């Protein structure tokens, strides 16, 4: 096990477009050890996800895992998932419209800051897992936003780039004091709309 350093905003590696992982690389012990380290680092930081670019590795790999997450207690649980070379498409609702919501996001690479980002609420991600097995994940609600956030990292994007109203930026103490309650109500409405329950306790950050 190794916990890697998580790069912070301003680090050039966070702004690089990661390259696909080759089949030959997938089979190497070095790659498998890196995936283990990525997961360990995500868990050590209480992250809901972590992309390789955040630890300075320019490969299209990210990990996602939400379970009683203290940083995001309103997020539905999502099993530990490794996405290699993921591709994301936005899916329409039954009536052909596209569901979008304004969601407060944070990022381990952007310490002590949250802000509102518009995210699509229904997506399909096609990828392979750490061993090269095909994965197709259809996600709705807040989980769809989490996946978009992680895949953005692989293209050198941070949630900051998608904040359209900079007045929503808030440090965590002020998020807790002034914005958390309102947003939790919004998040619960999103969870209810997509038929999922928040996985976490009501623990605060």
| Binding region for Ni ion (CB under 5 A) | 107
- How far lies 61's CA from each of 47, 134, 157, in Å? 15, 14, 14
Instruction: Report the residue number, 54 or 85, with the smaller CB distance to Ni ion.
Output: 54
| Residue 93 Cβ vs Ni ion, minimum distance, rounded to whole Å | 27
Residue 137's Cβ-side half-sphere holds a number of Cα atoms within 13 Å equal to 24
In this chain, which residue has its C-beta nearest to Ni ion? 107
CA distance 76 to 30: 32
Angle at the Cα of 42 (from 83 to 75), degrees rounded to 5? Answer: 80
Instruction: Report the residue number, 107 or 163, with the smaller CB distance to Ni ion.
Output: 107
Instruction: Report the residue number, 25 or 57, with the smaller CB distance to Ni ion.
Output: 57
CA distance 85 to 19: 8
Contacts for 39 with CB less than 8 Å, ≥ 6 apart: 50, 63, 65, 80, 82
| Residue 50 Cβ vs Ni ion, minimum distance, rounded to whole Å | 7
| Residue 48 Cβ vs Ni ion, minimum distance, rounded to whole Å | 9
| Residue 116 Cβ vs Ni ion, minimum distance, rounded to whole Å | 15
CA distance 195 to 5: 36
Active site residues: 150
Instruction: Report the residue number, 49 or 76, with the smaller CB distance to Ni ion.
Output: 49
What is the per-residue DSSP string for 103-146? Answer: EEEEETTEEEEEEEEEEESEEEEEEE-TTS-EEEEEEETHHHHH
């Amino acid at each position: 096990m190794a916990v890697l350093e998580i790069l912070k905003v301003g680090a050039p590696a966070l702004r690089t477009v990661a390259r696909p992982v080759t089949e030959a690389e997938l089979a190497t012990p070095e790659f498998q050890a890196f995936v283990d380290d990525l997961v360990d680092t995500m868990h050590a930081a209480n992250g809901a996800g972590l992309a390789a670019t955040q630890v300075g590795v320019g490969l299209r790999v990210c990990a996602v895992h939400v379970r009683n997450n203290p940083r995001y207690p309103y997020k539905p649980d999502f099993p530990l998932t490794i996405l290699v070379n993921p591709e994301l498409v936005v899916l329409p609702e039954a009536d052909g419209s596209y569901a979008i919501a304004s969601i407060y996001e944070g990022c381990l690479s952007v310490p002590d800051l949250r802000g509102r980002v518009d995210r699509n609420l229904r997506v399909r991600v096609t990828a392979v897992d750490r061993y090269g097995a095909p994965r197709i994940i259809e996600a709705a609600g807040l989980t769809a936003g989490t996946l978009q956030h992680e895949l953005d990292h692989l293209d050198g994007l941070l949630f900051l780039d998608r904040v359209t109203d900079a007045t929503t930026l808030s440090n965590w103490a002020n998020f807790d004091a002034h914005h958390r309650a309102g947003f939790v109500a919004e998040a619960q409405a999103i969870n209810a709309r997509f038929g999922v329950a928040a996985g976490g306790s009501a623990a605060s950050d």
